[in-house]
Structures are given as structure tokens and as C-alpha cells.
Amino acid sequence: MKSHQSDRKLIEAILSGTYTPFELREFLQFCYSLALPFIRKKICCGKINCQIIGLKEADIIHDCLADLFYRDEANRFPQIQVFFENQLVHSENPSDEEFTIMLRRLVLGKVNNNIIRLYSEADPALGKILRNLKLALERTQLFEQVSRFGETYLIPRGVKPLLHLPPIREDCIREAFSRIVFVYDNIPQMLRKLHSVLSEV
């Protein structure tokens, strides 16, 4: 089993552009191993439907991470370098473990963004809904988007989040929301109604 220190050396070789073909294969496998449990959990929880997307577990990971490994003329990886440069600005002398955490954040963020793209390619109508939802979240500012363990969560603004309590059951939210939402509501209206439901539960 690799140590965090060897992980860091591998990441530094990739960032410096001095990596060997073996180190590149090791790095690709490392990124895959970071994404795999995340993807499996999403599949188990029903957040990824392999049948709709039309890809197997391994293919989803490779597809989601592919553009991360675009190389420039100097054989460097611009997306990876820019991400780490931005992270290292806010972290003086990061530990070996922090380097691994940064890479995990990059990999899971890339997976999350590209899962939406895969759904959009497989089901354009669903892709349009997801895109409109993202735009409505940005415009209405009713929810704060926070990331925990690679997952994105919505927290209603203007309401005490009560994070020390167990989460509200999904069926309770669904039942309360279905009582006040209508088929002709647009997405911003639905978000306002969802905000009111979560504020009152």
C-alpha cells in the first residue's frame, strides 16, 4: 500500500512535467482509485443510472476524467497545474496528506461536472432541466451550495441549517413539496417553494 509521501512525489512529478511513462500510468491509476468508490456510491444510491447513460462503471470514470489529462506542447497537464497552483496559494507548505486531499477534490469535482454532461448527451431533455436548474440556483441565490466529501449539498439561505440534527427524511420533503408544486411552475418557482418547505419543516 502506498504512503501519502509516495502519493505526493507522484503528484509533484506530474506537476513538474518530469514524470516517466510508469509514473504517468501510476498517476492515472491513482486518480481512477480516488473516483471509483465515489462513482460506486452514486450508483448504489441511484444517483447514477448506468442504463440511461449507456456506460459501465469503469467507462464512466474514464470518460469523466479524460479531459483532465489533456496535455499541452510541453507535455504538461494545464487543468491539473492550474488547480494545484490555485490551491497552493492558500496553503503554505502543505503536508503529504493535504496533497492527496487536493487531488481527490480535483478528481471528484471533475467527475461531478462530467456526470451532468453524460446525462445531457444520453438524454437531452434531462440535460436541459439540469442546466436550467443550475442557472436558477445561481440567479435566485435561495440556496448555498456546499461540497462535503465530494458531494454537493444545497442549504437554504436565511435559515439556520441545524447541522447537528439528523437530515430530514427524503419522503417527508417529497410529500410536502408535492402538495404545493404544480406542473406549470418554472424551475425558479419550484426552488422558491422548495425553500419554503425546507424553512418550515
Calculated CA dihedral for residues 49, 51, 53, 58, nearest 10 degrees? 80
Predicted pLDDT of residue 160: 83
Predicted pLDDT of residue 20: 92
User: Looking at the whole model, is its pTM more than 0.85?
Assistant: no
Calculated CA dihedral for residues 151, 157, 161, 166, nearest 10 degrees? -50
> Residue 142 phi/psi, 5° resolution?
-80, -20
Q: Where are the domains of the chain?
A: 4-122, 131-200
Q: Tell me which of 23-37, 112-126, 138-152, 170-184 is least confident.
A: 138-152
Once rounded to an integer, what is the mean pLDDT over residues 4-26? Answer: 88
Residue with the larger pLDDT of the pair 150 and 107 = 107
Query: What gap in Å lies between CA 154 and CA 143, rounded to an integer?
Result: 6
What is the pLDDT confidence band of residue 1, given thresholds at 50, 70 and 90? very low
**69 neighbors 46 (Cβ within 8 angstroms):** no
Q: Which amino acid is at 20?
A: T
Is residue 190 classed exposed, middle or buried when 0-12, 13-18 and 19+ CB atoms within 10 A define those classes?
middle
Instruction: Tell how far CA 109 is from the center of its chain.
Output: 4
Print burial letters for 52-66: b (CB count within 10 Å at least 16), e (below 16): ebebeeeebbebbbe
Is residue 143 classed exposed, middle or buried when 0-12, 13-18 and 19+ CB atoms within 10 A define those classes?
middle
Q: Which amino acid is at 79?
A: Q
Calculated CA dihedral for residues 149, 45, 68, 102, nearest 10 degrees? 10
Grid coordinates in use for 104?
A: 481527490
Predicted pLDDT of residue 26: 94
Q: What is the pLDDT of residues 108-133, one digit of tens each?
A: 989 988 888 888 888 888 888 888 88
pLDDT at 89 over 80: no
